[in-house]
Amino acid sequence: MVNILKFLFNFYFEMKYRLLFYFTKRENNIVDIQNAYLINRDTKELKSIDNINFIKKIGHEILVDTNNQNNYILDIGFKWNKKEYRIQFAPNPTKDRIIFPFFSLNDIKTKANNQIIMIQDDFGNIEMNMERNRLINQYCGPIGDFYKSKNHGIPLSNLYSLKYKDFLFRDVRLKMEDIFLNEYEIDETNQNDVFQLKRNLDDTKLNKYSTNEDYILKTYDKFNLDWKKMIIGVLDWIFGKKKNE
């Protein structure tokens, strides 16, 4: 009986994501380019590119010409599956074109359903930290990993704010928290690294407290258990998304 239930659950999950991918593929533009900019690494100068003929779509592949000045970053805004993202390409003397990352059925299944929900700095800049929060989730991309899975990582120091005309993750000390309550610190030692979100609760949190419930109760002063919502939540977890193998 258990094996039959497992088969039915897996069959449901498989059909759900295959249908999702099928209808996504039927759209005219899987990746819809919104805008493009050249950003100077040093002066932070911004040049808008009105003519985006450097981007060519061939089948499912999008080729990007990188023939621009060496000290500039090519920053492209695009929409995929009704959400807006940004990606960057750095000029490479050995390559004059780069293939735009293509997101497959397997990417949808293994997407990291995690994001940063809070950023704090030493100066309490609430509005700027909200912008940092928006940026880091926008550059994380459709699969939530800064394109590490595509061998195309974007360093934190290159995340550019069009609102502030600045690189907001350079020469700062930041503390961040994700939806799993994991904590991250950004400073001059790791600002040039490609950021990577954790996929679940940090092991150090699990080791510090004997149970997840204990950690939550110690983190929040007011926490009332609602058995009705808990049951609905469990059903939503089973039927609402693909479980990680």
- Mean pLDDT across the chain: 78
| Percentage of the chain modeled with pLDDT above 70 | 66
> Which tops the pLDDT comparison, 165 or 21?
165
CA torsion sign for 197, 76, 102, 24 is: positive
d(CA 225, CA 127): 33
Neighbouring C-alpha atoms within 13 Å toward the C-beta of 145: 16
CB of 208 closer than 8 Å to CB of 201:
no
Q: List the one residue out of 186, 239, 212 whose CA is nearest residue 5.
A: 239
d(CA 44, CA 169): 13
Which pLDDT value is given to residue 12? 74
> Which tops the pLDDT comparison, 20 or 48?
48
| Percentage of the chain modeled with pLDDT above 90 | 28
The DSSP line for 132-183 is: HHHHHHHHTTTTTSTTGGGT---BGGG-EETTTTEETTSS--EEEEETT--E
> Which tops the pLDDT comparison, 211 or 120?
120
Structure tokens at 138: 């926008």
Rounded mean pLDDT of 149-167? Answer: 92
Most confident of 23-32, 57-66, 74-83, 195-204: 74-83
Q: List the one residue out of 153, 214, 216 whose CA is nearest residue 181.
A: 216
| The model's pTM | 0.68
Neighbouring C-alpha atoms within 13 Å toward the C-beta of 97: 11
CB of 131 closer than 8 Å to CB of 162:
no
Most confident of 62-66, 74-78, 156-160, 215-219: 156-160
Predicted confidence band at 245 (pLDDT cuts at 50, 70, 90)? very low
